[in-house]
Structure 1
């Protein structure tokens, strides 16, 4: 679950998977040499589900770490299930 930060107010912050959810027994996340554009579904702490444009910065077999800017221009990030993410071929 996400933790409060000085970036995004707590209820609007993305809910993130816990390490035990996105990592296998011995699996370490793979860091992207260069983040690449994705479209991802996130769920906020308040329970709102939003589809956002962002960048994949790391991944495991189960999940992707997505960095994005919320609708108020604040940076946020979250680990989400791999099925919630698609690559954006257009790069926007």
Structure 2
């Protein structure tokens, strides 16, 4: 799943997990975002390691907010194993 992010070309946008993949019913949102480093996969399949913030999570996935390679703010749900604290 991909969302519009400013003028980022479509194949360079982050691909996000679908809610059924990460059980959105168990979502937790912290009072303050947590600084993380995460692997993001683009629509075209390019994988990028980015610095960002964890803004929500479940047992299986983390929603990461980050600035993409074109300088636009974006977010994506990624598997929990793709994320580490900074």
Q: Normalization by structure 1: what TM-score?
A: 0.86
Map 1:1-92; keep pairs closer than 5 Å. Answer: 1-6=1-6, 8-23=8-23, 27-88=25-86
Return 5+ residue gaps in structure 2 as ranges. Answer: none
Return 5+ residue gaps in structure 1 as ranges. Answer: none
Poorly superposed stretches of 4+, deviation over 4 Å: none
Measured on the aligned residues, the alpha-carbon RMSD in Å equals: 1.4
Instruction: Return the alpha-carbon distance in structure 1 between the equivalents of residues 66 and 56 of structure 2.
Output: 13
State whether residues 8 and 75 of structure 1, in contact with CA within 8 Å, keep that contact through their aligned partners in structure 2: no
Q: Normalization by structure 2: what TM-score?
A: 0.91
User: Of the two, which has the highest radius of gyration?
Assistant: 1
Number of residue pairs the alignment of both structures matches: 86
